Amino acid sequence: MRLLLDECVDRRLVKEFFGVEVKTVSQLKWNGIQNGRLLALAENDFDVFVTVDRNLSFQQHLPKFNIAVIVLHGRTNALADLRLLVPKIIAILTEIKSGTVTSIF
């Protein structure tokens, strides 16, 4: 399972995923690429796109992309709050499907 963290997610969150391959948008030098183009690029090499952008599902028709999307809903977008959501992310990785959006609270 390969995850891509959106540029709006603290890149230090990568260290919280043990046994899961995770890259960031900035590692790939994809910063500033708009969501539709970003998802099109990501679907070629990743299974899951992780973001805090709660508007993504309203801005894009996600079923057309061959990638699952996880939207994080932490108390804030600070690393300490997002870190608390990682166990929930890992727990659902085997269940999520491409073209779907899963919200994690």
d(CA 52, CA 56): 9
Q: Which residues of the chain have pLDDT under 70?
A: none
Backbone angles phi, psi at 8, to 5 degrees: -85, -5
Q: What pTM was computed for the model?
A: 0.95
Backbone angles phi, psi at 48, to 5 degrees: -140, 135
Q: What is the pLDDT of residues 49-60, one digit of tens each?
A: 999 999 888 888
Percent of the chain exceeding pLDDT 70 equals 100
d(CA 84, CA 76): 11
